[in-house]
Structure 1
Amino acid sequence: MKAWFFVLFAAVAPACVATVHTDVPTSPEPAKTYVIYLHGRIIENAGPRPTDPRFGLYDYPAVLGALASRGAVVISAQRPPDTDMNAYAGIVVAQVEELIDRGVPPENIVVAGFSKGGGIAIRVSSILRRPQVRFVLLAACSRGSMPIQLRLTGHVLSVYEASDTLATSCQSLAELTEQPQSFKEIKIATGNLHGAFYLPHVEWVEPVLDWVHRAGD
């Protein structure tokens, strides 16, 4: 049986209890939205609620609850230490293809990643090349150079924090010769550096949920 657990999420939706899967459900509902969330590096080594001396508490369960708070089915698992980004991207590509094979329309699938998880999401986008699949990149583009072979495909939302010293805009990646189907970027300003995405702050959660659920379309 696939592993799953309940998350009680109080910060955005106090009465919401969400089911979060660690792998693709055996019988997914095609009408639902599926969000595959890829966490940051610190979770690999320190567990689901670590504290960084610079950025504070990373509340991974609360982030999952926030992403599920409007009814999306969230799929997320803690990666092992020192996970290879390219290898794990292959696992996520297989999850996306499995959802599609089980009847979920590609436009109902969102791959979201923060920091190292965002780097994995970029690689999934580059490998997958399904134009209808959607991607959320949270502080995903480092201030150093990106591997030249990476390309964004599908529909992409990028969110980055103005005070972040580790990550910046993904605009340059979106402007390469091969471009995604669509690209939207939001800069937030919480003053919390890279830790802006450690907690489900409304500044990033609300626009991400609006985009995931296509509010206003």
Structure 2
Amino acid sequence: MKFQKLFFSFSLTVLLSFIAFSQEKTPNEDQRYIFFFHNKFIEENDLNVAHPEYGKAEYNEILASFRKDNFIVFSEIRKKNTNAYDYAERIVKQIKKLLKKGVSPNKITVIGTSKGGYIAQYVSTLLANPDVNFVFIGCFRDVDIEEIPDINFCGNILTIYEKSDIYGVSAIKRKETSKLKVNQFKEIELNTNLKHGFLYKALDEWIVPAKKWANGNYTLN
């Protein structure tokens, strides 16, 4: 019951955010927006449950960090066993509504960690807008080229992976095989020694560059 209430609360927050935005006649030209997709562990467990190796997932802390820097953040705790492709299709429709309202595509950033990163990759593919920003975190393996051939990067792409993490490596191969336009592409290799657990935490090591990317700082200076 506690999980259901929490899920409803986050879903309601996202819904109310979209309703409020839809009522605006002219969006703030300087406002920037983030769509954040969490990892699979949060789909399957209450936020109070700690992963046996990586600890608790700091979902709320991650969102709070983005909001502290004045981003409007759209996020929710997904239902268990959410289909990544289907979910991405729904997000694409939401992003297109923002674009139709007059929001510049480079003011929109889609960020995903682990399974959420794969959702973000599908959004990149389906939206096919080279001016939207994307940050893929700990969500590429070399076998993806053969096992998930329908993903094509498109947009301003930042990938972040951890050297000790076997579930996320350099995604340069995906960039090279993608058939859509990539305006900007950059990769960051972290050395936290936290394995896949690095993305469970609200670490500056990945959040700070993600914010810079969302602010249009493609050199990350």
Task: With the length of structure 1 as denominator, give the TM-score of the two structures.
Answer: 0.85
Matched, 1:66 2:68: no
Q: Does structure 2 retain, via aligned residues, the 8 Å contact 1:48–1:78? A: no
Letter in 1 for 2:201: L
* Residue in 2 that maps onto 1:164: 165
Letter in 1 for 2:114: S
* Residue in 2 that maps onto 1:97: 96
Question: 2:178 and 2:62 mapped to 1: Cα distance?
Answer: 34
Comparing both structures, which one devotes a greater share of its residues to strand? 1
Pairs within 5 Å for 1:63-212: 63-146=62-145, 147-176=148-177, 178=179, 179-212=181-214
Letter in 2 for 1:171: I
Q: Does structure 2 retain, via aligned residues, the 8 Å contact 1:92–1:124? A: yes
Instruction: Give SS of 2:112's match.
Output: strand
Offset, 1:29: 3.4
The 1:177/1:61 distance shift into structure 2, 3 A limit, reads closer
Question: 1:64 and 1:193 mapped to 2: Cα distance?
Answer: 22
Unaligned runs of 5+ in 2: 1-7
Letter in 1 for 2:161: Y
Q: Does structure 1 retain, via aligned residues, the 8 Å contact 2:57–2:200? A: yes
Question: How big is each residue's C-alpha offset from its partner over 1:34-81, in whole Å with a ceiling of 9 and x where there is no partner?
Answer: 000011111112133431112111010001111222111111011110
Question: 1:54 and 1:198 mapped to 2: Cα distance?
Answer: 11
Question: 1:84 and 1:72 mapped to 2: Cα distance?
Answer: 27
- Number of residue pairs the alignment of both structures matches: 201
* Residue in 2 that maps onto 1:53: 52
Q: Which moved more, 1:22-31 or 1:116-125?
A: 22-31
Letter in 2 for 1:205: I
Q: Which moved more, 1:46-55 or 1:61-70?
A: 46-55
* Residue in 1 that maps onto 2:3: none
Question: 2:195 and 2:152 mapped to 1: Cα distance?
Answer: 26
Equivalent position to 2:14, from 5, 11, 22: 22
Question: 1:86 and 1:216 mapped to 2: Cα distance?
Answer: 27
Letter in 2 for 1:95: Q
Letter in 1 for 2:198: A
Q: Percent identity of the aligned residues? A: 29
Letter in 2 for 1:60: Y
Letter in 2 for 1:161: E
The 1:59/1:138 distance shift into structure 2, 3 A limit, reads same
Q: Does structure 2 retain, via aligned residues, the 8 Å contact 1:143–1:166? A: no
Question: 1:210 and 1:196 mapped to 2: Cα distance?
Answer: 19
CA RMSD of aligned residues (A): 2.1
Offset, 1:145: 2.5
Comparing both structures, which one devotes a greater share of its residues to helix? 2
Letter in 1 for 2:189: K
